[in-house]
Each structure stands twice: as C-alpha cells, then as structure tokens.
Amino acid sequence: MTTRSGKLSVGKAAIAALACLAASYAIYRYEAAEVGAVLAGKLPLKRPFKELPLKLGAWKGKEVPLEASVVKVAAADDYLSRWYYNENTGESVRVYVPYYGNPRTMVGHYPDVCYPAVGWQKLLSRVEDVRRGSDETTVPALFYKFQKGASRVAVMSFYIVGGQFTADRRVAERASHKATGRENRNYLAQMQLTFAGDPPPEQVRRTTADFLGVFLPELESHLPDSSVKRVLGEKQ
C-alpha cells in the first residue's frame, strides 16, 4: 500500500519530470515555424478529457492540476492529470495523458530524457507487453525504474497514434509525421503511469493491466476516429 510520503515523492517526481519540457521547447521552435501552415488542421477529441469518469470500477480518481508554465510549454490540445486509487487493494497510480490533434505540435516529453534531466538516475528500461485487462490483448509499453537519493519510482509509458499503440517514440514520431496533411490528418496521445517506490515488475504489470482494463475503453471513447487506418507499419 502506498504511504502518504510515497505519494508525495512520486508526485514530485512526476511534476519535476514534466517541468523538463521547458528545456526541450527551444529545440522545437524552429521546426514548428517551418510547419506552421500544417498546424492549422487538428483532429479534435470527441469529448474533452475532463469528462472522463473519476470512478472506474474499483479505481477512484482525483484531479492533479499542473503548473501553468508546464501546461504552456507542453502545448497539448488537451490533457489528463490525475491520481487514481484502488479502493480494494490500496494501490495508487499517477496518470498523465497529453493529447495532440496534430502531432507536429508535440514537444518532446520522454521519461528517459525528462527524469534524468531533473536529477533522476535511470536504473532500468525495457519493453513490456502489458495486458489491457482480463483478456489476452496486450499493449507494448516501456517500463522504467528511476532513483533519486532514497526515492524510487516505476513508470509505464506508451503512445497511441491514430488508434495504434507503440512503445517506441521514434516510431510514433515517424508515423505521426507521415499523417499531417489536411486530407490525411492524425493524432497522438501519450500515456504515462507512475508508481511510487520500488514495486516488483510483476506487480507493476498486474496493476497496469487492472487499471488499463477500465481506463483504456473510456479513453478510447474520447479519441477521434482517425482518417488514417494504419500508420505504424512496423511490427510491434
């Protein structure tokens, strides 16, 4: 069960990692200017993320506001930032989902870049096939562990590009950049789950599967129907 100090630790870690978006903003300004004409076309969400239920099965959510500077630099068209607590098990997970109706507007926010940028040491990074519920359907995700002093966190991260899942940000970037024309628009969403402390990988996989089983159907009901049916191409 996560303690209050653990919640504060992972909350600070997640917010600190988001804050490093500011460091990457300058890299993207030139490119954004080059594609200004393309940026006018964005795929809107069917419904804003704020309408996504706070109560999902045994999971009960609480909004976690982001600092105005982080929101401005991230430049997402919409985002979800919450804590979710499992009322049956006492487990908790920090959830951050930015949405870009045109992926060219996305400023790089990647755990393996942002956490080290604010002093966290990467202990582990590997691809995991995580079940998205009780069935055998899986989602490819990057599993990380970071340490800063006595604090540790575990992170699961993946991307949704036009309804397709990938753990590789380079694949997501290439795929999304192929679909930026007005007739061929696409979207990109990133999902990041952060767990306090040093939970065993199997526990993180189980908790992620349990949470995704109730969260992903709701999230996908808010995402647009992409005009690009298959953009990734690469075998997952």
Q: Is residue 235 part of a domain?
A: no
Give the 3-state secondary structure of residue 53: coil
**Residue 79 domain-assigned (yes or no):** yes
pLDDT tens per residue across span 75-134: 889 999 999 999 999 999 999 999 988 766 565 568 888 889 889 999 999 999 999 888
Residue 232 forms part of a structural domain: no
Domain assignment present for residue 144? The answer is: yes
Query: Residue 16: is its pLDDT beyond 60?
Result: no
Query: Do 152 and 115 meet the contact criterion of CB atoms below 8 Å apart?
Result: no
Helix, strand and coil percent figures for the chain, each rounded to 5: 35, 30, 35
Give per-residue pLDDT as tens, 123-177.
999 999 999 888 789 999 999 999 999 999 999 999 998 888 999 888 777 766 6
pLDDT number for residue 54: 98
Exposed/middle/buried for 4, CB within 10 Å: 0-12, 13-18, 19+?
exposed
| Domains contained in the chain, number | 1
Task: Convert the pLDDT of each residue in 189-231 to its tens digit.
Answer: 999 999 999 999 999 999 999 999 999 999 999 999 854 444 3
The crossing angle, in degrees rounded to 10, of helices 4-19 and 21-34 is 30
Spatial CA neighbour of 14 closest among 118, 169, 108, 92: 118
| Token pair of 171 as six digits | 């694949």
Residue 131 lies inside a defined structural domain of this protein:
yes
Tens digit of pLDDT for each residue in 40-69?
568 899 999 999 999 999 999 999 998 888
Using pLDDT thresholds of 50, 70 and 90, give the confidence band for residue 31. Answer: very low
Matching residue, tokens 């804050």? 19
Parent domain of 136: 4-222
| 236 occurs within a structural domain | no
**Domain-embedded: residue 132:** yes
Enter the pTM of the model: 0.79
Q: How many residues would you count in the chain?
A: 236
